[in-house]
Amino acid sequence: MDHSTIQIELKENGVAVWTLNHPPSNTIHDELLEDLQKCIEDVSSRPEVRVIVIRSAHPKIFLAGMDIKMMVSKGSEQINRPGSIAASSRRLQQVLKELEQLPKPVIAAISGHALGGGCELALACDFRIMSAGSIGLTEISLGLIPGGGGTQRLVRLLGRAKATELIFLGRRLSAEEAAAYGLVTKTVSPETFNVEVMTFADRLAKGAIQAMGLAKACLLAAEDREGNGYTLESEAFEQTFTTGEPMEGLAAFFSKRPANFIACSDRYRLHS
């Protein structure tokens, strides 16, 4: 059953295709998170669904990240409701962790930009197949840090040194660069993208899905050190809003000018 921001198609081979469609720029919003959680709950109880492919209806954007206008609103709420931003971070973490823990293979089919929260969603998938666009945790350019589990998953995937470089510099990697770092599973040409994604998904669907689910649980258990990093990330994500950097970064974004984090004015500060 389709949702307002996600269209669902079940192929005969047991591959479920989830198409993200939140116009105009495919941002992460409360409605999309709610629909994503419903999709996760639905496939969890459907044995005929063997593999999930997540793709975008937008030709140039896989998923753009958190809705910036919503983030501005959340930042304003922080003045009167301490903890509201950390709660939003935990909500995103929760949904992506449920996606990560699905006992079935999940493929992120990336044919456009996957930045910020879009990259975090891709990191929560088992495989990332990319043809075009760019990918990266770019929150630092707005004076923020990843808030959907990105700091934890990127370290687990690439190691601390590479993760630090990519997050501190806000690197936007091309498909080829991402493959060189080990961030994506494979790169394919735009012309053969859809065929290669579905061929890869079909190969998985023909495999021992239950064994894959058990192996996946074991792999995750080996990586997750009681989830303390997620709690720290939520608290740190909220802490960024006590500085002037997010308001400077967001103001610069809307004004289409470079952000000047060095000279952030105290008038942007939410509280000391």
Active site residues: 120, 139
Give the largest Cα separation in the chain, rounded.
Answer: 58
Cis-peptide into 59, omega within 30 deg: no
H or E stretch at 195: helix 193-205
Distance CA 153, CA 170 (A): 16
Report helix angle 193-205 to 209-223, nearest 10: 100
* 3-class SS of residue 54: strand
List the one residue out of 22, 5, 31 whose CA is nearest residue 61.
22
Q: Would you tell me how many other CB atoms lie within 10 Å of the CB of residue 268?
A: 17
Classified as helix, coil or strand, 38 is helix
